[in-house]
A and B are shown apart, each in its own frame.
Chain A
């Protein structure tokens, strides 16, 4: 069955370290998204991609970067982790553009920055 996976599921790191969160989907979806979920803020969009070599900033992109070298993967990198980036991170994918397609979410990664 097609699915979307994230790794690691839990990560503890120190302030200033570079961290990469992996997202892999086997739906063959064009669109992929990264969100963070914090109490009181719901889900906020960090970065998104429409396809290979395409990346775009979301509403809370500062301190994060992504790259899309193939259809299946969209890794999220925290260049220099900060305590404010402690959060739960969700990856999602959808089939095509148009505002119509359901986004399917991965299981999430809980990141703690000490």
Chain B
């Protein structure tokens, strides 16, 4: 069965602190895709990154970085020097391969990040 666990329900940090959001996934498939989405207080879901299971190279985009480790089934997200605008709920998602014949996403329950000035 496919499953995504985001054990951190809520995290609070002070601006400029680094913060890591954890994502642990379960799948028996060798081909899969992982995603992160941001949901700011305004409510929309914003796509951040997609990673496939064959690419374990870490990704950096500005203050954002992602650490994909198949050995621990984790796809963690780090924000460096956090800012108030980073306050949001962050969702990790797993996409199943075509066995289910559709582009189903399995979402974690989300981590709410509060960045205080």
User: Which residues of B are interface residues toward A (Cβ below 8 A)?
Assistant: 31-33, 35, 37, 43-47, 50, 52, 91, 95-98, 100-105, 107-110
Contact = CB atoms under 8 A, between A and B. Distances in A.
A42 B45 contact: no
Nearest to B92: A42
Given A98-B98, A101-B103, A105-B37, 16 more contacts: A42-B107, A42-B110, A43-B107, A45-B105, A90-B45, A94-B103, A99-B96, A100-B33, A100-B52, A102-B35, A102-B50, A103-B103, A105-B45, A106-B44, A107-B43, A108-B44
A99 B32 contact: yes
By size class, the interface of chain A is 20 to 34
B43 A108 contact: yes
A41 B98 contact: no
